[in-house]
Amino acid sequence: MNSYLTQLSALIEHSIERTQAATAKRESAVTSYLLQFEDAWARQSNPGRLSVHERREIESELAELEELQTEIESEYFVTLDLIAEEDEQACAELDERYGLPEGQTIQSMQSDERWQNATTEEYQDGPADDYDEDDDDNHEDHYGYAGGWQEHRQEGSERLFGENSGFNTSASSASRVKARHEAAWKALPQLSSTRSLCWTDIPWPVLAQAPSVGQLTPENVTAFFAGESRKEKRDAMLRWHPDRFEGRWLELCVAEERQSVKQSVGVVARCLSGMLEERE
């Protein structure tokens, strides 16, 4: 048993190290992005001093930065999903090696306080953390707007990303999961072009980081869509409608898992249908 606990501890440490490395890489990319965004924003805030050509250049620059933001988020969440997939596989191997019930090791990992802290830590840092807020009076002269760096950085992030983006310093765990969910959907076509899809490749609408078939319950699906507008639920229904989903994705799945995927899609579709029938 001591050998098992040693290997479990090593597995947890390895997972934490990879997660922290991915987070550090993302923070570095976000820092670079925000500095570029601040520069473009500052230049755009004085439109009267810009020629038509200069305004168009800034608009093009901001559009490119928006694409960069999507790439940063997509790469980060896809990396986290890969780490989770590799952790699950390694834990399953430990279960088999020591004759343990299926899923015991991954549950032990996910209940570890160190692992939880490393995998749920929110993005806190950003550029110019040494900015002196006492200089706010001079900030308008330099950038063309009133208010401090922190306030404007948050405003800029919300303007471009939306209030619940991964770059929002007050983002909840649920909003981060949903951001990862959308990033995974964007990555799915590329993934399906390289190999057949497994059940675990599908971005199922549950708040668990690496959901299992057993976690795809009506209660968990309903919790995922709780608080979303009727329009957002209708859009989700278009994605998860059985005919549409099966026509687009089912044939790309591993043959042995298609029935499981089909049944799971039915669970999601029925939940959404029930939510849409409710009066708001």
Q: From the CB of residue 109, how many other CB atoms can be counted at a distance below 10 Å?
A: 22
User: Is the confidence at residue 250, as pLDDT, over 80?
Assistant: yes
CA 124 to chain centroid: 16
209-213 mean pLDDT: 73
DSSP, collapsed to helix, strand or coil, labels residue 143 as helix
Helix axes 258-277, 218-225, angle to 10 degrees: 60
Spatial CB neighbours of 256, under 8 Å, sequence gap ≥ 6: none
Res 263: pLDDT: 93
| Tens of pLDDT, residues 154-207 | 344 343 333 433 333 333 456 667 777 888 888 888 888 889 999 988 999 988
Rounded CA separation 133/212 (Å) = 47
- Length of the chain counted residue by residue: 280
> What is the pLDDT confidence band of residue 34, given thresholds at 50, 70 and 90?
confident
CB burial readout 241-270, b (16+ within 10 A) else e:
beeebeeebbebbeeebbeebeebbebbbe
Res 205: pLDDT: 92
Nearest one of 186, 191, 204, 178 to 253, comparing CA atoms: 191
- How is the chain split into domains, by residue range? 1-172, 195-280
Query: For residue 133, what are the CA distances in angstroms to 90, 129, 139, 188?
Result: 47, 10, 9, 43
Strands (E), the chain: none
166 neighbors 70 (Cβ within 8 angstroms):
no
Number of H helices, E strands in the chain: 11, 0
Res 62: pLDDT: 78
Q: Is the pTM of this model over 0.85?
A: no
Res 141: pLDDT: 37
**Could you give the angle at the alpha carbon of 12 between the alpha carbons of 91 and 105, nearest 5°?**
30
Place of tokens 């820092």: 31
